[in-house]
Chains A and B, each alone.
Chain A
């Protein structure tokens, strides 16, 4: 009985062997140093690199985005400039076209006026010429005729001219003299 009690006391699992406490602690400390020196820094380095890579990627993307925005703004401003330019050119062209048409019209009017004027002048001249020649011919005819009728010689130049003049004056005033 005393044997079994002593054996049980020796086997009390709560009572440790000092060697096990020391060995356990020592092995743990060795593991701690190894992990501390050789494992943790590697993982931390990978974490830091990963963070840097992600942040770098984000920064790069932001730069790219800003560049793209700037490019877009530039292109848009160029586009609106081009639109303005086009509108301006169109406006100019319209004005020019209108001006040209107006000018042409004016020219045509001038031309037609000129032609009309010319025609009038010519007609007047021709009429004048006709009147003059008619006057001479009518005078001669009338004189001849009258001479023949009256039997009076009207060969005298001065007299003949005077008769014709008088005749014509009567003719123009609309008062029929002789007839």
Chain B
């Protein structure tokens, strides 16, 4: 849909396609916006739930504890230990576990009725997490190798020498220090933003075609198609929301693993 047709539709008082403006929600009160409330709520929700699950942790788990351990051991064993190795991984389990839950719950806010807004479709929240992960893996690297040692660790891959270094060193620094946090943040933000935008588009478009546009066979067909697509995309989003939480956590674990490793 190009600007010309958009202008025509607007001029006719027809359908207004959703855009970034739909993500700029008005404050609920004072300066407090919906994502602010949601992200605060997520912390209380996650902590409340997992504290209840782990408070009376016993050798033989009950139903709640079993569910909690399922998530915890997933992050602890298949993400942290697999990536970082059994020597150092325990130090990073709290961070990775919190990160996974934090991203997961805030993503699924996009699917919970009435809430229906993924917090990370506001890029600021994704940037915040990326900055923390960046500080973590670089900090760990400096703590492990010393500032200069870590710089060498990051910039010079093993087994590269001579003139190739001129090419490799800037690339490595760019890739490891600059690109990583940016992709980390943008991947999460863009997925949540695009997914939510698609859902708005199919929901509003279907509604418009079925109830507001002229009643023609084509419009009705398109409207039903849009509603069907809404459900299909919703199902896809359920998967994407989990995957993004998992990927963010896994990549952070791998960056940490790279920083603590003895060699590349």
Contacts and interface: CB of A to CB of B under 8 A. Distances in A.
Interface of A: 7-8, 11-25, 27-32, 34-36, 38-40, 42-43, 45-46, 49-50, 53
A39 B50 contact: yes
B59 A22 contact: no
Contacts, number: 130
Main secondary structure of the interface of A (DSSP, over half): helix
14 contacts: A11-B21, A13-B189, A20-B35, A24-B125, A24-B127, A25-B128, A25-B131, A31-B42, A31-B43, A31-B98, A35-B94, A38-B54, A43-B57, A46-B58
A46 B127 contact: no
A27 B43 contact: yes
Contacts of B126: 24
A21 B135 CA distance: 14
Interface in B200-241: none
B23 interface: yes
B102 interface: yes
Interface in B24-59: 24, 31, 35-36, 39-40, 42-43, 46-47, 50-51, 53-55, 57-59
A14 B95 contact: no
A42 B57 contact: yes
Interface string B74-97: 001000000000000000011101
Contact of B59 (A8, A17, A32, A53): A53
B55 A42 contact: yes
B21 A21 contact: no
B68 interface: yes
A39 B52 CA distance: 9
A18 B124 contact: yes
B98 A32 contact: yes
Contact of A32 (B40, B94, B123): B94
A8 B53 CA distance: 46
Contact of A31 (B21, B46, B54, B68): B46
A27 B44 CA distance: 10
A20 B129 contact: no
B124 A20 contact: yes
Contacts of B95: 32
A21 B50 CA distance: 25
A119 B93 CA distance: 118
A160 B112 CA distance: 168
Contact of B20 (A13, A18, A32): A13
B191 interface: no
A21 B39 CA distance: 12
B51 A39 contact: yes
Contact of A40 (B21, B35, B93, B189): B93
Given A18-B124, A24-B39, A40-B97, A12 B20 contact: yes
Given A11-B20, A20-B35, A42-B57, A28 B124 contact: no
A38 to B, nearest CB: 6
Given A27-B40, A31-B98, A42-B55, 16 more contacts: A12-B20, A13-B189, A18-B124, A20-B122, A21-B131, A23-B36, A27-B39, A28-B43, A32-B95, A32-B98, A35-B46, A38-B47, A38-B54, A43-B76, A46-B58, A50-B59
Contacts of B43: 27-28, 30-31, 34
Q: Which of B20, B36, B98, B131 lies at the interface centre, i.e. has the most chain A CB atoms within 10 A of its CB?
A: B98
A17 to B, nearest CB: 5
Contact of B124 (A19, A43, A46, A50): A19
B177 interface: no
Q: Which of A21, A29, A30, A32 lies at the interface centre, i.e. has the most chain B CB atoms within 10 A of its CB?
A: A21
